[in-house]
Amino acid sequence: MKKKVTVHTPGTVANLVCGFDILGLCLDNPCDIMEVSLCDEPGVTVSSKDGFSLPTDPAKNTAGAPLIEMLAELGQPIGFEVTITKQIKPGSGIGSSAASAAGAVVAANHLLGSPYSKEDLVRFALFGEKVASGVKHADNVAPCIYGGITLIRSIFPLDIVTIPAPALHVTAVHPLIEVRTSDARQILRKQVLLKDAIRQWGNIAGLVAGFMKNDYDLIGRSLEDVIIEPVRSMLIPGFDEVKEKCKSAGALGGGISGSGPSIFMLSKDKPTALAVEKTMQEIYTRIGLDHHTYVTTINQQGVKII
């Protein structure tokens, strides 16, 4: 008889404003559901419950690739069957590929009797991000597995630091246009001005201090990105207006979620987060662009075994 587990695997916001490639946070919603079974036959199969077309080769699938790595390391004649019910839209910038990768490895680890640490699981899940975007970036998979706000100080070698923070409400809007992660990465300049880099590391230091001091004003002042956002925001219609008006509506600040096109904003309380949602909806309704919005909080647990 096959052993089977169901997990809820959440969306994440990577590239947290001034924390490009190093800082991400875990959301309570949206959330995918994954069923993973441990089988006696070697190999990995991945299928979708809701009609998303997935690559037939599991090595090219964001849930499959990490499990193939895990099985190679284990060296045992076993396999996994994965079924995904997607609620995090692929290409939204809310960590859809990371959710699949992280959910798969957390579930597999549970089925195996938890031989692996969270850091090990991030290491496996990175193979899913490599498949998805060509780059092993950890600022989605780490918060997805650890929960909360996580800093990836370094990726080679992997150095993950959890960052405590006060209660924060997250509002996100997903305008229904496609921004491919690989395209969003390609338009970035390879060199930046030293003075801009200094401003950016002042902001990331301020943001980490703001989170750890529970200083909402400092968090708000530090949510500034002078390097990535000015380039990437051009790919997102309405970005400047959304940001300005959401801040006028009371948001502490925010920016592009991941590589976009979603935009997220942090607020101190739920009424503000709802006012921010209304602002986002009004702007995209006027522009005439289909969109989804989310009002949620920070998920402190990460992938959850059901």
Residues with catalytic function: 129, 181
DSSP 298: B
DSSP annotation string for 251-274: --EEEE-TTSS-EEEEESSHHHHH
Angle of the 118-133 helix axis to the 64-74 helix axis, nearest 10: 130
Instruction: Give whichever of 20 and 146 is closer to its own copies, judged by the CB atom.
Output: 20
Q: Rounded to whole angstroms, how far apart are CA atoms 17 and 254? A: 7
Instruction: Give the binding range for its own copies (CB under 8 A) out of 13-21, 40-48, 241-249, 274-282.
Output: 13-21
For position 233 contacting its own copies by CB under 8 A, the verdict is no
57: helix, coil or strand? Answer: coil
Instruction: Count Cβ atoms below 10 Å from residue 47 Cβ, excluding itself.
Output: 14
d(CA 106, CA 143): 13
Residue placing its CB nearer to its own copies in the complex, 72 or 190: 190
**Interacting residue with its own copies among 83, 200, 233, 296 (CB under 8 A):** 200
Query: Do 275 and 75 contact (CB within 8 A), yes or no?
Result: no
- E strand or H helix that includes residue 158: strand 158-163
Binding flag, residue 203, its own copies (CB under 8 A): yes
Among residues 187, 198, 287, 306, which is the contact residue for its own copies, using CB under 8 A?
198
Q: What are phi and psi of 285, to 5 degrees?
A: -65, -45
User: What's the closest the beta carbon of residue 28 comes to its own copies, in angstroms?
Assistant: 23
Q: How far is the CB of 154 from its own copies (least distance, A)?
A: 6
Q: Which stretch binds its own copies (CB under 8 A): 48-56, 64-72, 122-130, 212-220?
A: 212-220
Binding of residue 154 to its own copies (CB under 8 A): yes
Given a contact cutoff of 8 angstroms between Cβ atoms, the answer to whether 133 and 70 are in contact is: no
By the rule CB under 8 A, 252 interacts with its own copies: no
Exposure b/e, 217-232, CB count within 10 A at least 16 = b: ebbbebbbbbbbbeeb
| 23 touching its own copies, by CB under 8 A | yes
Residue among 41, 186, 190, 288 that touches its own copies (CB under 8 A): 190
Q: Does 126 bind its own copies (CB under 8 A)?
A: no
User: How far apart are the C-alpha atoms of 27 and 266, rounded to whole Å?
Assistant: 12
**Neighbouring-strand partners of residue 81:** 37, 45
- Using CB under 8 A, pick the residue from 59, 205, 234, 287 that binds its own copies: 205
Residue 152 sits in the site that holds its own copies (CB under 8 A): yes
What x/- string results for residues 270 through 289 when contact with its own copies is judged by CB under 8 A? --------------------
206 binds its own copies per the rule CB under 8 A = yes
Q: Is 192 in the site for its own copies (CB under 8 A)?
A: yes
Find residue 40's DSSP bridge partners: none
Chain residues binding its own copies by CB under 8 A are: 18-23, 151-154, 159, 161, 163, 188-195, 197-210, 212-213, 218, 221-222, 227
